[in-house]
Amino acid sequence: MHLARHTITPTQQTVIVNAGFDQDAHIFTTITPQGYAVYLTNPLRLITHRDIPNGTLAHVVPLHSTNLLFLVGGGNVPLYPPNKVILYNAEQGVDVAELEFREAVRGLACRRGMIAVALRRRVCVFEVGREIATVSKLGEWETCDNDRGLLAFASAPRATLLAFPGKQVGHVQFLHLPPCPGPAKEQGKTARRHSVSKPPKRTLKTPKNPIAIIAAHSNALTSLACPPSGSLLATSSERGTLVRVWDALTGTCIRELRRGADKAEIYGTAFRKDERELAVWSDKGTIHVFSLGLDGETHNVNQRSALAPLSAVLPLPKYFQSEWSYATFRLPQPATHTDLGTLTLPDEPELRCTCAWVEVPAMDERGRPREDQVDHNLVALTWAGGWYRLGLPERPTESVKGKEREGEGVSRQLVLEEFRRYSRWDGWG
Q: Rounded mean pLDDT of 121-147?
A: 88
Q: Rounded mean pLDDT of 365-371?
A: 73
Give whole-number Cα distances, 199 to 120, 126, 162, 164, 196, in Å.
21, 9, 18, 20, 9
Q: Rounded mean pLDDT of 355-375?
A: 82
Is 356 within a domain? yes
Is 75 within a domain? no
Q: Rounded mean pLDDT of 406-420?
A: 71
Q: What is the pTM of this model?
A: 0.83
Q: Rounded mean pLDDT of 212-229?
A: 96
C-alpha closest to that of 109 among 157, 65, 150: 150
Q: Quote the Cα angle for 121-127-133, to 5°.
A: 135
Which residues on adjacent β-strands are paired with residue 302? none
Is 41 within a domain? no
Residue 308: predicted pLDDT: 52
Is 201 within a domain? no
Which residues on adjacent β-strands are paired with residue 51? 35
> CB neighbours (10 Å) of residue 391?
15
Residue 186: predicted pLDDT: 37
Is 242 within a domain? no
Is 315 within a domain? yes
C-alpha closest to that of 378 among 303, 282, 272: 272
Domain that holds residue 331: 285-342+349-429
Residue 266: predicted pLDDT: 95
Q: Phi and psi (nearest 5°) for 5? A: -90, 125
Portion of the chain with pLDDT greater than 70, in percent: 74
Question: Using CA atoms, how far apart are residues 18 and 20, in angstroms rounded to an integer?
Answer: 7
Residue 234: predicted pLDDT: 98
Question: Using CA atoms, how far apart are residues 297 and 276, in angstroms rounded to an integer?
Answer: 10
pLDDT at residue 199 above 50? no
Helix (H) or strand (E) holding 323: strand 323-324
- What is the tens place of the pLDDT at every residue in 26-37? 999 999 998 999
pLDDT at residue 355 above 80? yes
Q: Residue 383: is it exposed, middle or buried by C-beta count within 10 angstroms (0-12/13-18/19+)?
A: buried
Domain count along the chain: 1
Q: Rounded mean pLDDT of 198-202?
A: 38
pLDDT at residue 191 above 50? no
Lowest mean pLDDT among 210-219, 283-292, 375-384, 417-426: 417-426
Question: Using CA atoms, how far apart are residues 412 and 329, in angstroms rounded to an integer?
Answer: 9
Question: Where in 299-407 does DSSP place strands (E)?
Answer: 303-304, 323-324, 327-330, 353-363, 369-382, 386-391
Question: Using CA atoms, how far apart are residues 379 and 331, in angstroms rounded to an integer?
Answer: 12
Lowest mean pLDDT among 200-214, 229-243, 306-320: 306-320
Q: Quote the Cα angle for 356-269-307, to 5°.
A: 125
C-alpha closest to that of 301 among 395, 390, 400: 395
pLDDT at residue 130 above 70? no
Question: Using CA atoms, how far apart are residues 110 and 23, in angstroms rounded to an integer?
Answer: 8
For residues 38 and 351, which has the higher predicted lDDT (pLDDT)?
Answer: 38
- What is the tens place of the pLDDT at every residue in 71-111? 999 988 999 999 999 999 998 999 988 999 999 999 999 99
| Mean pLDDT for all residues in the chain | 81
For residues 27 and 66, which has the higher predicted lDDT (pLDDT)?
Answer: 27
Residue 397: predicted pLDDT: 54
Sign of the Cα torsion 251, 110, 193, 142 reads: positive
Residue 395: predicted pLDDT: 65
Is 409 within a domain? yes
Is 399 within a domain? yes
